[in-house]
Chains A and B, each alone.
Chain A
Amino acid sequence: MLGREFKKNYIYYTRKESYELLNYIIRRFLILPFILFGVTVLVFSMIMMLGPYQRLSTYINDPAQLKGQDMDELVAKYGLDDPWYEQYGRWIGGVAQGDFGWSESAGQPVSEAIFSRFPATLELAVFAVIPVIMGGIWLGVLSAVHHNQKFDHIIRIISTIGWSFPTFVFGLMVLMIFYGVLGWFPPGRLGADAAAIVRSAEFASYTGLNVLDGILNLEFGVVLDSFRHLIGPIVTLAIVWWSYILRITRSSMLETLRKDYIRTARAKGVAEKFVINKHARRNALIPVVTVAGPMVLGLLGGVVIVESVFGYRGIGQYAAQAAQQLDYSGILGVAMYFSFLLILINLIVDVSYAVIDPRIRLE
């Protein structure tokens, strides 16, 4: 039995009725509160590993509150010696109102710190995700079509190396070559000139996304400058995740190309281009959707690294800064925030997967 196939999560089931799909979606939504509850308990149990004094920072909203106060009194006031479930209740009440405490490293409440950096991270994510997904799929299909030819071999080697490359080392090298040597892609989010325009009174901030705001304000210098700063982080994220998507697309495409209906199409004399683009690729892409969840998981981690390598002021860079300075409330706030985001994205992925592929196992 050692030769047992390494089975993929590719399952052939009889067609299910549409009410089963609805059933699945409802079930998926019903799980949601449990997951949310679980995550808050998980994060809270990490808070409880801290001592009462350290925990104080997650309750205070302004350091002025601490002035001239006795720490033990404060601990008693916020009930930090109470049983854990009472503390959990109070904490979750605050979190529900978006109150994550005071962030020492940012010098402002955690929720404000996250909120003010959100557009930067969103901008990076939006511009990174599209080239990563499209590029990865394109290379994967191409690699499968040229199976075992030179092109395929080169792509495979590059993707294995790319997948093995630590994001931060690659980012530092991009910085060294494209900024240090060539001076093309500087770190940070905006250059001094563009930043002055953005801060000026005439520049209206509609979305906080510099590229979009630049276009809306007809300040194309800002748009160009934003792109100059975005390319480094995007290339760094893309190299690692291209390799990932490429591999999955490639093996799925290879499997699909061996199916009977592809042979039938070819035998009928359908043009090869049509066979690949219409018949094979669509079906091959279904498993790619399933990895969207893990990919987002990895991308959010990658954002933390890339932002701190490039000094790009976003949520990820804030998380790294908070961790370095032992700013507990800051790092916990980011963790909660990222998990809510992840739960939401996973929900969307699961539901759309069930809609796309009727063969999905409806557990």
Chain B
Amino acid sequence: MEWKEILTRLLKNKLSLFGLIIILFFVLVAVFAPYLAPPRSPDEAYEIPRAGWQVEPQPPREGYPFGTAQGSYDIFYGMVWGTRTAFRIGVIVVGLSSFIGISIGTLSAYYGGKIDEFFMRITDVFMSIPFLVAAMVLTTILGKGLDNVMIALVTFGWMSTARLMRSQVLEIKNEEFVQASIALGASDPRIIFKHIIANCIFPVLIQAFMRMGSMVITASALSFLGVGAPEGYADWGQMITFARDWILGGQGSALKYWYTVVIPGAAIMFFSLSWNLLGDAFRDILDPKLK
């Protein structure tokens, strides 16, 4: 099955087509952010502008299509620029942690023996602290802020990829084409890159798709818990922090401030959903029997 065929199938499948459309939508929003929500100054594009000094959230109105959150922060602006933040977190965290995971998994499985034992015990140790708690601790120690959240997520986010990659390489290592190239005297790097990684990258790719969503969810959860993005930074999780004190509404209507939680919540949900749909469809294509 070649790339082209995979793409055709992804486009034919309703669910993955839906996922692709949502991703495309978010990409467009991220690319055209400066036009959709022009920043007051280009240096402070990620600072959400405030409509005034009112503490109470205000419903959608002229000029503020999604309303304003606690402290009169413009929700629309935060959503638009938050899309860039989400992609930045997703791509950097998933990219780096997958790279570490693939390297460690491949090296342990390919060389086996003591190297394998060493790397796998390190993996076990890193997996012994609950992911969210570990990320919280490291972010707290490094200091609050998105960059440190990303460092923490990469530090504690590579283990599942390493394990998956290891099991894949173990299976493929003994296949004839690998044995043949060993017999022909190919160098280790050539075998690893040309034959092994190229042939077991797909399950890792599926996992990476799934992790795009979950990493953005975790990063926003850290912001929500108060160790992520600083107040007023265009980040979806941080936007929901604004909703926290207003969740029970007031004056006759419990749903008075629904827009403060539903809008950013929906953005995170759809972002994660689209990657999950894509990952699901990918897996169905590669392994039709589990459909």
List residues of chain A with CB under 8 Å of any chain B CB. Answer: 1-7, 9, 31, 34-35, 38-39, 41-43, 46-47, 49-50, 160-161, 163-169, 172-173, 175-176, 179-181, 251, 254-255, 258, 294, 297-298, 300-302, 304-305, 308, 319-320, 322-324, 326, 328, 331-332, 334-335, 338-339, 342-343, 346
Selected contact of B129 from candidates A4, A166, A338, CB within 8 Å: A338
- A304 and B225 in contact, given A164-B213, A166-B265 (Cβ under 8 angstroms): yes
- A176 and B138 in contact, given A4-B286, A301-B132 (Cβ under 8 angstroms): no
Total interface residues on B, CB under 8 Å, equals: 68
List residues of chain B with CB under 8 Å of any chain A CB. Answer: 1-3, 6, 121-122, 124-134, 136-142, 160, 167-168, 171, 199-200, 202-203, 206, 213, 217, 220-221, 224-227, 237, 240, 243-244, 247-249, 254-255, 258, 261-262, 264-265, 268-270, 272-273, 276-277, 280, 283, 286-287, 289-290
Contact B273 A160 (CB under 8 A): yes
Contact A38 B128 (CB under 8 A): yes
Chain A residues whose CB sits within 8 angstroms of the CB of B129 once the complex forms: 39, 42-43, 335, 338-339, 342
Cα distance A70–B264 in the bound complex, in angstroms: 48
Contact B247 A180 (CB under 8 A): yes
Which residue of chain B is the closest to A325 with respect to CB atoms? B226
Chain A residues whose CB sits within 8 angstroms of the CB of B273 once the complex forms: 160-161, 164
- A164 and B276 in contact, given A6-B203, A173-B261, A301-B133 (Cβ under 8 angstroms): yes
Cα distance A172–B263 in the bound complex, in angstroms: 13
Q: A35-B121, A42-B129, A335-B134 are in contact. List 17 more A-B contacts (CB 8 A).
A: A7-B171, A38-B122, A43-B137, A46-B137, A49-B141, A161-B269, A163-B276, A166-B269, A168-B224, A176-B255, A176-B258, A258-B289, A320-B136, A324-B227, A331-B136, A331-B140, A342-B130
Contact A176 B125 (CB under 8 A): no
Contact A305 B140 (CB under 8 A): no
Please classify the interface of chain A as helix (H, G, I), strand (E, B), loop, or mixed, using the class held by over half of its residues.
helix
Contact B276 A167 (CB under 8 A): no
A49 CB, nearest partner CB in chain B, Å: 5
Cα distance A286–B116 in the bound complex, in angstroms: 26
Cα distance A109–B194 in the bound complex, in angstroms: 56
Across the A-B interface, give the 7 residue pairs with the lowest CB-CB distance, nearest first: A301-B132, A180-B254, A38-B125, A169-B265, A164-B273, A324-B226, A300-B130
Contact A323 B255 (CB under 8 A): no
Contact B127 A168 (CB under 8 A): no
Kindly name the residue among A39, A251, A323 whose own CB sees the greatest number of chain B CB atoms within 10 A: A323
A128 CB, nearest partner CB in chain B, Å: 15
A233 CB, nearest partner CB in chain B, Å: 15
A241 CB, nearest partner CB in chain B, Å: 13
Chain B residues whose CB sits within 8 angstroms of the CB of A9 once the complex forms: 167
Chain B residues whose CB sits within 8 angstroms of the CB of A335 once the complex forms: 129, 133-134, 137
- A320 and B130 in contact, given A160-B273, A326-B140 (Cβ under 8 angstroms): no
Which residue of chain A is the closest to B6 with respect to CB atoms? A2
Contact B265 A172 (CB under 8 A): yes
- A1 and B199 in contact, given A168-B224, A180-B247 (Cβ under 8 angstroms): yes
Cα distance A172–B225 in the bound complex, in angstroms: 13
What would be 22 A-B contacts, judged by CB atoms less than 8 Å apart?
A31-B121, A41-B125, A47-B141, A50-B141, A164-B217, A164-B273, A168-B220, A169-B268, A173-B261, A173-B262, A175-B248, A180-B248, A181-B254, A294-B160, A301-B131, A305-B132, A319-B136, A320-B226, A323-B139, A323-B225, A323-B227, A332-B137
Cα distance A50–B206 in the bound complex, in angstroms: 37
Contact A305 B221 (CB under 8 A): yes
Chain A residues whose CB sits within 8 angstroms of the CB of B248 once the complex forms: 175-176, 179-180
Chain A residues whose CB sits within 8 angstroms of the CB of B286 once the complex forms: 3-6
Which residue of chain B is the closest to A332 with respect to CB atoms? B137
Which residue of chain A is the closest to B213 with respect to CB atoms? A164
Chain A residues whose CB sits within 8 angstroms of the CB of B133 once the complex forms: 300-301, 304, 319, 334-335, 338
B138 CB, nearest partner CB in chain A, Å: 6
Contact B128 A343 (CB under 8 A): yes
Chain A residues whose CB sits within 8 angstroms of the CB of B168 once the complex forms: 7
Which residue of chain B is the closest to A41 with respect to CB atoms? B125
